[in-house]
Amino acid sequence: MRLPRPADHLTTTQQESTDMPVPDIFRQGMARGWKTHDGSALEQDLTLEADVAIIGSGAGGGTTAEILSAAGFKVLIIEEGPLRTSDDFAPLRENQSYPALYQEGLGRMSKNGAITILQGRAVGGTTTVNWTSSFRTPAPTLKHWADVHGVTGHDVDSMAPWFAKMEERLGVAKWAIPANPNNQVIADGCESLGWKHDIIPRNVKGCWNLGYCGLGCPTNAKQSMLVTTIPATLDNNGELLYLARVNRLLIDGSRVTGLECVGMDERCVAPNGRKITVRAKHYVLSGGGINSPAVLLRSNAPDPHQLAGKRTFLHITNFSAARFEQQLNPFSGAPQSVYSDHFQWHDGAAGEMSYKIEVAPMQPMFASTVLADVGQRAAETMASLPNINFMLALGRDGFHEQSSIGSVELRSDGTPVLDYQMTDYSWDGIRRAWLSMAEIQFAAGAKQVWTVHADAPWTSSWKEAQATINNLPLELYRARLGSAHVMGGCAMSEDASMGVTDSLGRHHQLENLSIHDGSLFPTSIGANPQLSIYGLTAKLATQLAERLKA
Amino acid sequence: MSEQTNNNIALAVSRRGLLKFSLMGSAMLATAGVTASLTGCSSSMPQDGYKVLRKEDVAFLSATIPVVMQGTFAADKVAESTLITLKSFDHSLAHFSPEVLKLVQQLFDVLGMSITRGPLTGVWGGWENASPAEVANFLERWKNSAISLLNMGYGSLTQLIPMAWYGNPEAWGHCGYPGPPTI
C-alpha cells in the first residue's frame, strides 16, 4: 500500500492520478474476509448474535466498537445507512453523495421546515461526511454540566487523557497548511479588529487539501470511523450489518433481550420486508441525537421522567455571505481551518447566547441552497460564487433557561422528527452573530455583505450592514437557519429525574443498555462536537469493557 | 371534492383577513390535501420517465423552474435546462424519507388542484398556461404570506429547484465552478 500523497503535491494530482490510484481500504478488507451483512440484499430473515450489539456506526458507535472488540468482545455494529467507500466518493459529485449519505436523503429538517439539519447516515455516520473540525469539549461546558446537570467525573483533567488518546488515534492536529481564502477571511477580519481567532485542528492524515470532506473522503485521509475504528473492529472478529434499521429494543423488565431490525432498500428509503433479530449480552445505543431517543421512544423503554428526546440541541446556525474583489474559490481547500471564539464565552457559560464563527465550503449544489433566492438576484449571486466568502455562526444552545431547544417526536410511521422552538433569547444571539460576521467580513476587505435573510439586501459598508441587520424581522423562514450538529436528547446525569443515563452512559432503568453518542450531552458543546463524542465514548467504552469482564 | 369544502375555501379566500390565522390556513391546506388523496383529484402514479413526479407536478415545476432560474439558464437553453432540473428534482425526491416526500407531495397537491391553486397562488388557468409574471407573483405571495405553511412551501421550492440544477455539470459554467478535481 502506498503512502498518501501530501497536500503540497496538489497541483500534480491530476497527472499522478492515472497511475497511482488510492487503495480502497474498506473494499480490500472485505476481500480479505471481513464479516459484513447487507440488509438490502438479504434473501431471508436473519438472526445475529454477539457479546455487544452497537446501534449506529458514527463517532460514538465506531469508537465503542474498536475498544470493545480490542478487549476481546464479539461486537456487532448495526448501521441504518449504506456502505459507501473511497472508490464511491471519488467522482466527488454532490448529487451522488447527498442523497446517499445524509439522513432522509438530505431531506431532514425541523418539524416546522424552517431549519435544515445535515446529519450523516452511512457506515461511519456523520464522521464520513463531516468537515473534520476537531475540538476538545470546552472547559466551561464541562464545568456547566457538573454545576447544573448532575454530571460527575468528566472535568477537564479527567477528560484530558481521553481526548489525547483519540487525537492520537485519529491524527487530530492543527491544520498546518495555509488556510484557503474562504477561511482566511476570518483570520484577516479578526486580526484587523483585534478579535481572537485560531487554527482549527482536523482529523486527517496525508490530506490532499481538496475541500470535498462533505461528500465522503475520496483519499481516505480523513480519519473517519469508516477507515479507522470500524476496520479495526472487523479485523478483530467484529461484524457489520448495514442498511438495517433498529426498529425497537425488545425489553423484559429491566433488561434488553434483543433488537428487532428491518432491512432497508438499497436507497435506504423504505424497509424491504426482511427482519433481522439481534441477540447480545449488552447493547449500546449510538444513533446520535434524534435517532437514539427515537429508538427508545419506539421501544416504549421505561422513562419515568419523560426525558427521552427532550432537550435536543442544534448549535442553531445562521449565515452571512460576502463578495470580494478577488477570487476566493470557496469550493477548494480544507473546508474549515480557522475559527473565532471571540463571542463564545464573553458573557459566561450561561449568559446571552454566544457563538463560534467558522466558514462553510461552497460547492455549487450546497451553495445554491444556502444562498437560495429567485430570478435575477439569485443568478447574480451564484455567478459570483468564486468571489464569495460564506461565514456561519454556531449558536450555543441549551445553556440558558430561555434558550431555544428541541424535542424529538415520532411521526405516524415511527420515524423521528425534531420540534425545535426558537425563543427571543436565541433570536437575540442570531442577530448579534449576523453583526459579528458582517463586521469581520468588511474588516477583511469584503466589497459587499449579504446577511442571509429574505429581507436583507447586499450591503456595501459595515455601517449599512449594521443598520440593515438591526432592522431585520427575526422570523422563521425569512432568516435562513440550519444545523449540522444534533446533540442531546438522552442526557446523562447522576440524577435520574434529569437524565436518561448516568455519567457513564448507563441507562438509568435498563441494566444492559448503554448510550454512547452525542445524545448524552446535557447542553450543546460550543464547538464542533465530534472530538467531544470520541473522547467521552472512549472513556465510557473502556469502563464498560472493564465492567463486562468483571 | 365536495361542494361544501369548495365553498369553505372560497369563503376563506374571499375574506383575506381569515388567512392571517396560519392555523386556519393549515387546516385548509390539510383538508385540501386529504380531500385530494381521498377523491383521487390528484393522481398518484409517477409520470412516464419519472420516479416520483406526477403529471400535475411536472406541469407545475415546468412553469416554475424557469422563473426561479431566470437569469441563470442560458436564454437559448431554457427548455433543455428545465428538463435537466426536473429529472434531478425527481431523483432527489426519490431518495427523501417517505415522510418528507409526503410533505412535498402535499405541497404539490395544493398547487396542482384547481380548487386550491387559484385561491392560493393567483394562477387560475392551470400551470401550462401560467405566464412567468403570474408565477413570479405567486412566489412573492408565498414568500410574504402570513400562513407559515406557504412560507415553508416557498422556502422548499426555492431551495430544491436550484439544488436540482447545480448538481449538474451543465450548471457549472454560470457559477465559475471548474468541476471537482480528478482523483
Predicted pLDDT of residue A389: 98
Predicted pLDDT of residue B27: 53
State whether residue A369 sits within 8 Å of chain B by CB: yes
Domain contains A19: no
A49-72 average pLDDT score: 98
With cut-offs at 50, 70 and 90, classify the pLDDT of residue A18. very low
Integer CA distances (angstroms), A168 to A67, A164, A534, A535, in order? 14, 6, 11, 11
Domain contains B179: no
With cut-offs at 50, 70 and 90, classify the pLDDT of residue B35. low
Tell me which residues of chain A, numbers 204 to 233, contact chain B at a CB-CB cutoff of 8 Å. 210, 212, 218-219
Residues paired with residue A256 on neighbouring β-strands, in sequence order: A251
Contacting residues for A72 by C-beta, under 8 A, at least 6 apart: none
Between CA A395 and CA A280 the distance in angstroms is 39
* Domains held by chain A: number: 2
Integer CA distances (angstroms), A28 to A1, A79, A247, A259, in order? 11, 20, 31, 30
pLDDT of A530 strictly over 70: yes
Domain contains B140: yes
- Domain housing A450: 181-206+313-483
Chains A, B: CB contacts under 8 A, how many? 153
pLDDT > 70 in chain A, percent? 96
Predicted pLDDT of residue A376: 96
In tens, the pLDDT along A338-360 reads: 999 999 999 999 999 999 999 99
With cut-offs at 50, 70 and 90, classify the pLDDT of residue A21. confident
A462-467 average pLDDT score: 98
A83-100 average pLDDT score: 97
Cβ neighbour number for residue A421 with a 10 Å cutoff:
13
- Whether residue A156 is found in the same domain as residue A49: yes
B97-111 average pLDDT score: 96
Between CA A398 and CA A404 the distance in angstroms is 7
- Whether residue A495 is found in the same domain as residue A520: yes
With cut-offs at 50, 70 and 90, classify the pLDDT of residue A434. very high
- Whether residue A300 is found in the same domain as residue A317: no
Q: What's the whole-number average pLDDT of chain A?
A: 96
Check which CATH number belongs to the domain holding A263 and give it.
3.50.50.60
Contacting residues for A35 by C-beta, under 8 A, at least 6 apart: A234, A237, A238, A239, A240
Domain contains A27: no
Domain contains B164: yes
In tens, the pLDDT along B56-73 reads: 999 999 999 999 999 999
pLDDT of B159 strictly over 80: yes
Tell me which residues of chain B, numbers 1 to 40, contact chain A at a CB-CB cutoff of 8 Å. none
Between CA A35 and CA A231 the distance in angstroms is 11
B5-22 average pLDDT score: 39
Predicted pLDDT of residue B15: 37
Domain contains A106: no
- Whether residue A413 is found in the same domain as residue A290: no
Q: Which residue has the cell 429529472?
A: B87
Q: Of the candidates A425, A455, A483, which is a domain's last residue?
A: A483
Domain contains A221: yes
- Domain housing B96: 3-171
Asked if A438 and A430 count as a contact pair (C-beta separation under 8 A), the reply is: no
pLDDT of A227 strictly over 80: yes
pLDDT of A102 strictly over 50: yes
CA-nearest of B101, B100, B130, B99 to B114 is B130
Between CA A353 and CA A396 the distance in angstroms is 6
In tens, the pLDDT along A27-53 reads: 999 999 999 999 999 999 999 999 999
Predicted pLDDT of residue B9: 41
- Whether residue A295 is found in the same domain as residue A318: no
Chain B residue with Cα closest to A454: B143
In tens, the pLDDT along A230-285 reads: 999 999 999 999 999 999 999 999 999 999 999 999 999 999 999 999 999 999 99
- Whether residue A237 is found in the same domain as residue A293: yes
State whether residue A365 sits within 8 Å of chain B by CB: yes
Q: Which residue has the cell 468482545?
A: A73
- Whether residue A91 is found in the same domain as residue A225: yes
Domain contains A16: no
Domain contains B178: no
Contacting residues for A269 by C-beta, under 8 A, at least 6 apart: A105, B94, B95, B96, B97, B98
- Rounded to a whole number of angstroms, the distance from the CA of A312 to the nearest CA of chain B is 20
Check which CATH number belongs to the domain holding A360 and give it.
3.30.410
The three three-digit cell numbers of residue A47, written as one number: 438472526
- Whether residue A404 is found in the same domain as residue A256: no
ipTM confidence score: 0.94
With cut-offs at 50, 70 and 90, classify the pLDDT of residue B26. low
- In terms of DSSP bridges, do strands A239-242 and A75-79 run parallel, antiparallel, or are they unpaired? parallel
Domain contains A128: yes
Domain contains A12: no
Report angle CA B29, B41, B162 to the nearest 5 degrees: 60
pLDDT > 90 in chain B, percent? 74
- Whether residue A412 is found in the same domain as residue A457: yes
What do you get for the CA distance between the two ends of chain B, in Å? 56
Between CA A480 and CA A477 the distance in angstroms is 6
- Rounded to a whole number of angstroms, the distance from the CA of B146 to the nearest CA of chain A is 11
Predicted pLDDT of residue B4: 41
Between CA B24 and CA B20 the distance in angstroms is 8
- Rounded to a whole number of angstroms, the distance from the CA of A207 to the nearest CA of chain B is 13
Integer CA distances (angstroms), A409 to A30, A297, A413, B111, B123, in order? 37, 8, 11, 28, 36
Picking from A107, A364, A454, the nearest residue to B171 by CB comes out as A364
pLDDT of A55 strictly over 80: yes
* Domains held by chain B: number: 1
- Rounded to a whole number of angstroms, the distance from the CA of B41 to the nearest CA of chain A is 24
With cut-offs at 50, 70 and 90, classify the pLDDT of residue B33. low
- Whether residue A263 is found in the same domain as residue A353: no
State whether residue A11 sits within 8 Å of chain B by CB: no
Helices B114-121 and B132-143: angle between axes, nearest 10 degrees:
80
A536 burial level (CB within 10 Å; 0-12, 13-18, 19+): buried
With cut-offs at 50, 70 and 90, classify the pLDDT of residue B39. low
A150-168 average pLDDT score: 98
Domain contains B151: yes
Domain contains A130: yes
Picking from A99, A116, A331, the nearest residue to B95 by CB comes out as A99
Residues of A in contact with B136 (CB under 8 A): 374-375
Predicted pLDDT of residue B20: 38
* Chain center to CA of A525: 12
Predicted pLDDT of residue B11: 37
pLDDT of B14 strictly over 90: no
Between CA A528 and CA A405 the distance in angstroms is 17
Domain contains B135: yes
Q: Of the candidates A426, A450, A483, which is a domain's last residue?
A: A483
Predicted pLDDT of residue B44: 79
With cut-offs at 50, 70 and 90, classify the pLDDT of residue A225. very high
Domain contains B96: yes
Residues paired with residue A523 on neighbouring β-strands, in sequence order: none
Asked if A213 and A89 count as a contact pair (C-beta separation under 8 A), the reply is: no
Between CA B51 and CA A539 the distance in angstroms is 47
Predicted pLDDT of residue A20: 52
Predicted pLDDT of residue A466: 98
Q: Of the candidates A443, A462, A483, which is a domain's last residue?
A: A483
Predicted pLDDT of residue B182: 93
pLDDT of B105 strictly over 60: yes
Between CA A431 and CA A453 the distance in angstroms is 11
pLDDT of A380 strictly over 60: yes
pLDDT of A4 strictly over 60: no
B105-131 average pLDDT score: 94
Region of poorest pLDDT, from A252-261, A449-458, B15-24: B15-24
Coil, strand or helix at A450: strand
- Whether residue A255 is found in the same domain as residue A166: yes
Between CA A282 and CA A312 the distance in angstroms is 26
- Whether residue A92 is found in the same domain as residue A52: yes
Predicted pLDDT of residue B37: 53
CA-nearest of A254, A215, A245 to A81 is A245
Torsion angle of C-alpha atoms B34, B35, B39, B42, degrees rounded to 10: -70
Predicted pLDDT of residue B153: 96
Instruction: Say yes or no for a CB contact (<8 Å) between A367 and B175.
Output: yes
